[in-house]
Structure 1
Amino acid sequence: MGTLLSAVAVLAVTHALINRVGAALYVPVCVAAAAVLVLVARRAGVTWDELGMGRSSVRRGLRWGLVLVGAVVVVYAVALAVPFTREAFVDRRVAGLSGAELVHRVFVRVPFGTVLLEEVAFRGVLWAVIRRRWGAGWATAGSSVLFGLWHIVPSRGLTRSNAAVEAVFGTGGTGVALSVGAAVVGTALAGVLFCELRRRSGSLIPPVALHCALNGAGYALAWLAVRAG
């Protein structure tokens, strides 16, 4: 129980930091937090295999990852090509990004900041620690609920940045509350999917690959959608 509480405490401190530090410190803070979480788990006796980082599952994880990335790219490309679904990609948060800033966001901030920390934390350390004590079902449920709650703060600006979200939930306090609630539930359900990929493959690689593809390609397509009008 102490290991679980320590991991949650590390995440709480990290969450406070990354929502306050500038963009230049975001990735270093995420990398440092991921390293601390792994250290906490390893000191408690959690093995590399339990963390989804064992050598035995690398090949299987890579195969799964490639398929998942390909599927995301195809689905996103089709969605961008259809006018009805294209609006969902129009996100004002990426409208002002230059090409260089977009490349940094897709190839640095997302994989080495957001995805590294969240996958190590929620599908690696928390999932392994909870599974040891209560089993895989509770590990998936617990880590996914925490994953959803992790997204409360980042979701508060959805109605201002995305026209499709604003159209569904409206504006004002009620719209923000509803959109945040939907985002928390949605990310928790995504967490269940990521955990299941982790459980079935025995590796963190598939959820990492899917997470990178969803976020990275999502930024790229949002940037293109804004410029396509």
Structure 2
Amino acid sequence: MGMLLSAVAVLVVTHVLINRVGAELYVPVCVVATAALVLLARLGGVTWDELGMGRSSVRRGLRWGLVLVGVVIVVYGVALAAPFTREAFVDRRVAGLSAGELLYRVFVRVPFGTVLLEEVAFRGVLWAVIRRRWGTGWATAGTSVLFGLWHIVPSRGLTRSNAAVGAVLGTGGTGVALSVGAAVVGTALAGVLFCELRRRSGSLIPSVALHCALNSAGYALAWTAARAG
């Protein structure tokens, strides 16, 4: 229990920091927090296999990961090509990025900041620690709920930045509350999927690959949609 509480404490502090520091410190904070969580787990006796980082599952994880990345690219491409779904990609937070800023987000901020921290934290350390004590079901449920709650702050501006969401829910207080609630539920369900990929493959690689593809390709397509529009 002590290791679990310590890991949650690290995440709480990290969450506060990444929502307060400048963009240039986002990735370093995420990397340091990830290292601290892994060190905490290893000192507590959690093995590399339990963390989803064991060598025995690398090949299987890479196979799963490649398939998942391909599926995301195809689905996103179809959605961007269809007029009735294209508007969902329009995000004001991305539209104003330069090509260099976009490349930084796609190839640095997302994989080495957001995805590294969230996958190691929720599908690696927390999942392994909870599973040890209460079993797989509780590990998946608990980490998925925490993953959903993790997205409360980032989703507060969704109705203003995404035209499609703002049009459906409105930009007032009620719309913001609904968008935050939808984001929490949606990311919690995504967490269940990521945990299942982790469980079935025995590796973090599939959930890392899927998470990275969803976020990075999402940035790239939002940027493309803004210019096409």
TM-score per shorter chain, which class? over 0.9
Distance 1:196 1:167 in 2: 34
1:187-226 to 2 correspondence within 5 Å?
Answer: 187-226=187-226
Q: Given residue 37 of structure 2, which amino acid in structure 1 is its aligned partner?
A: L
Distance 2:37 2:55 in 1: 20
Deviation at 1:75, TM superposition (A): 0.2
Cα distance per residue 1:126-174 (max 9 Å; x no partner): 0000000000000000000000000000000000000111122112111
CA RMSD of superposed structures (Å): 0.4
Aligned to 2:140: 140
Cα distance per residue 1:66-88 (max 9 Å; x no partner): 00000000000000000000000
Instruction: Tell whether 2:153 aligns with 1:159.
Output: no
Q: Given residue 54 of structure 2, which amino acid in structure 1 is its aligned partner?
A: G
SS at match of 1:154: coil
Distance 1:35 1:168 in 2: 40
Distance 2:166 2:96 in 1: 19
Runs of 4+ aligned structure 1 residues displaced above 2 Å come to: none
SS at match of 2:48: coil
Unmatched runs of 5 consecutive residues or more in structure 2: none
1:7-18 to 2 correspondence within 5 Å?
Answer: 7-18=7-18
Aligned to 2:168: 168
Overall identity of the aligned pairs, in %: 89
Aligned to 2:69: 69
Distance 2:181 2:145 in 1: 12
1:1-229 to 2 correspondence within 5 Å?
Answer: 1-229=1-229
Q: Given residue 218 of structure 1, which amino acid in structure 2 is its aligned partner?
A: G
Unmatched runs of 5 consecutive residues or more in structure 1: none
Distance 2:184 2:78 in 1: 26
Aligned residues: 229
TM-score (ref. length: structure 2): 1.00
Distance 1:7 1:168 in 2: 38
TM-score (ref. length: structure 1): 1.00
